[in-house]
Amino acid sequence: MTVFYQILFSSVLRHMDAEKVHKLSFAALRGVTAVPGVSEAMTRVLGPREPELTVHALGREFPGPLGLAAGFDKNAESPRGLAALGFGFVEVGTVTAHPQPGNPRPRLARLVADRAIVNRMGFNNEGSALVAERLHHDRDREGPVVGVNIGKTKVTPEEEAPADYALSALRLAPYADYMVINVSSPNTPGLRDLQGVERLRPLVGAVRESLAEAGRSDLPLLVKIAPDLADEDVDAVADFALAEGLDGIIATNTTISREGLESSAEQVEAAGGGGLSGAPLKRRSLEVLRRLRAKVGDRVTLIAVGGIETPEDAWARIRAGATLVQGYTGLIYGGPLWPRRIHRGLARLVRSAGYRSIEEAIGVDAPAPALKVVGDTATAG
């Protein structure tokens, strides 16, 4: 199956419009898994079933640490079908308060030599009201852990961003296992400015008010940050997460950098602007993760994403301090059996390292957070 997919990708898929391929493949998956009993059967075959891969985090039990990152299922059309491919959890979105078409096409391109994708989708989605309705219809069936990623509507002025996020949070909170505030996509003008702590504080406060109004004040709340933040800004976000009691940080989103690519200058130019994901993010995403872990220790759940292609990549993130990992581009280049290969490989690595559970490996390669004295009390930071 893996060899067949690689042949199909090399001979056919790589030459087709990337967004069209995404739509066709996702429609096929939805059609197959809509047949009664199929998604359950696929989950039994492909899902993480090794007991040593179970992870307890964010108040939930994850059957495996690898999840699907936001961006693939923007409108929560089939989180159950995607989980049936073998993911331990699925993050839907990014969802905005109001429907929007996103940026003009073409807006998705591959850099095959770099095993990377460039996207400038611009949060194209059907809006939080419709996504909430879709999740509502699926809530009574036992399914995967589902995170909901929310962002700012493009036409909303930056000063009104807290209210925009709050509306999405209010509508979607009843159906989420955790919620992510996305302030790090490069494809919505001004969005990354919200990563600054002074801009982030009122936004988090507004979302929390909505969670309380929805009766979900205990819903785990995370923030997703960019790899392009300066080190001191990464530190500031870590300090903010501790001070505000955030449940987690997702590191990292796509990058605007084009340094060190193997693709030709012409190919990079043809791919255009936007966020780059895939293998080129590997080093910086790991650096950001290590920096966050050094600041927050195990007091904040860290989810690593960016350049994870192999079980060894995922294993390195977990040992560096990630409790969970996510992929997206790895699935595109690795094919439908990629999640199963990652989880199977992780189980092998856990056993070969002599651990009974992958949870025992979280942060084993990370230094202990430095201590600073505040008054008469030593605290991490």
- What residues are designated binding site for substrate? 74, 119-123, 182, 187, 253-254
CA gap 33, 284 in Å, rounded: 36
Tell me whether residue 185 is one of the annotated catalytic residues.
yes
- Cβ contact 156:100 at 8 Å: no
Enclosing H/E stretch for 348: helix 338-352
Active-site residue, from 185, 263, 277, 285: 185
- Cβ contact 52:38 at 8 Å: no
Q: Counting every residue, how long is the chain?
A: 381
CA gap 237, 258 in Å, rounded: 24
97, two tokens: 């308060």
120, two tokens: 């400038």
CA R_g for the chain: 20
CA gap 307, 251 in Å, rounded: 11
Which among 118, 178, 126, 120 is positioned nearest to 149, based on CA atoms?
178
* Positions of E strands within the chain: 55-57, 60-62, 66-68, 89-95, 108-111, 116-119, 145-150, 178-182, 221-225, 248-251, 275-278, 301-305, 324-327, 371-374, 377-380
Residue with tokens 């400015």: 193
- Cβ contact 324:67 at 8 Å: yes
Which among 119, 34, 107 is positioned nearest to 77, based on CA atoms?
34
CA gap 375, 64 in Å, rounded: 42
Annotated binding site for FMN: 70-74, 94, 149, 182, 224, 252, 278, 307, 328-329
β-partners of residue 303 are 250, 324
Which among 95, 241, 225, 73 is positioned nearest to 169, based on CA atoms?
95
CA gap 248, 161 in Å, rounded: 21
Around Cβ 45, how many Cβ atoms within 10 Å?
A: 10
> Which amino acids are annotated catalytic?
185
